[in-house]
Amino acid sequence: MFIDLFSPSVQHSLDLVGIFVFAISGALLAVRKNFDVFGMAVLAEVTALGGGVFRDLVIGAVPPAAFTDLGYFLTPLIATVIVFFLHPEVERITAAVGVFDAAGLGLFCVTGTMKAYDHGLGLTFCAVLGMTTAIGGGVLRDLLAHDVPSVLRWDRGLYAVPAIVGATIAALLIQFDALNGGTSALAATVAFLIRLMAMRFGWRAPRAWNRRSTAAEEV
């Protein structure tokens, strides 16, 4: 099984790191929205686990891993406590948090693709589900916070695009029987670097061709 390319302990540790960083972003948004501590915890849990839960439900891996591993559940709560007491300090290192978030994006888009393939999905849908694993929690976070999801907004840097690129590379590696620990890490790194470059240079996806001639700018 492709999901066994890494040892269980390594895979689990990487998952927890990604979950923690995603949870930080959810808790920070809750602070900006003036949510109470319960709202912070909810946004942290949803951001960290939402994509993985959706993936597991689609592929029939039930109960989802988020409901069978106490570490997955507790890690967002730890992130919530940190942000609750130290959010001004955490806000000051937003750039560093963004780097780790990009790393989580790269990791989850690849592992999501591999897990989908292990459960019998075709490669196209494996890549789609890999992308969803990486961005799904952020979409749910924004919806709960009454925001347009960041992945749909032109004024935000590329986020879904790096995820689909990483997931597509992983799917192609599976297609050509070339997926192993090294190449899967390479796919995750490509997604990570694209996200970092988008953050650094403000890369954005194009909008509708010649849209300014037919529609007014909307905020």
Cα–Cα distance between 158 and 151 in angstroms, integer?
A: 7
Q: Quote the pLDDT of residue 181.
A: 86
pTM, full prediction:
0.89
What are phi and psi for residue 62, nearest 5 degrees? -115, 150
Which pLDDT band, with edges at 50, 70 and 90, does 208 fall under?
confident
Is residue 211 pLDDT above 80, yes or no?
Answer: no
| Residue 48 structure tokens | 């960290």
Q: Which two tokens stand for residue 156?
A: 């935000």
Residue 95: per-residue pLDDT = 84
Please report which helix (H) or strand (E) contains residue 141, including its range: helix 123-144
State mean pLDDT over 190-200.
Answer: 96
Q: Which residues contact 164 (CB under 8 A, 6 or more apart)?
A: 109, 127, 128, 131
How many residues does this entry show for the chain? 219
CB 198, CB 163: distance < 8 Å: no
pLDDT class of 210 with cuts at 50, 70, 90: confident
Predicted confidence (pLDDT) per residue in 68-123, tens digit: 999 999 999 999 999 999 989 988 888 888 898 999 999 999 999 999 999 999 99
Q: CA separation (Å) from 197 to 159, 161, 204? A: 11, 12, 11
Is residue 99 classed exposed, middle or buried when 0-12, 13-18 and 19+ CB atoms within 10 A define those classes?
middle
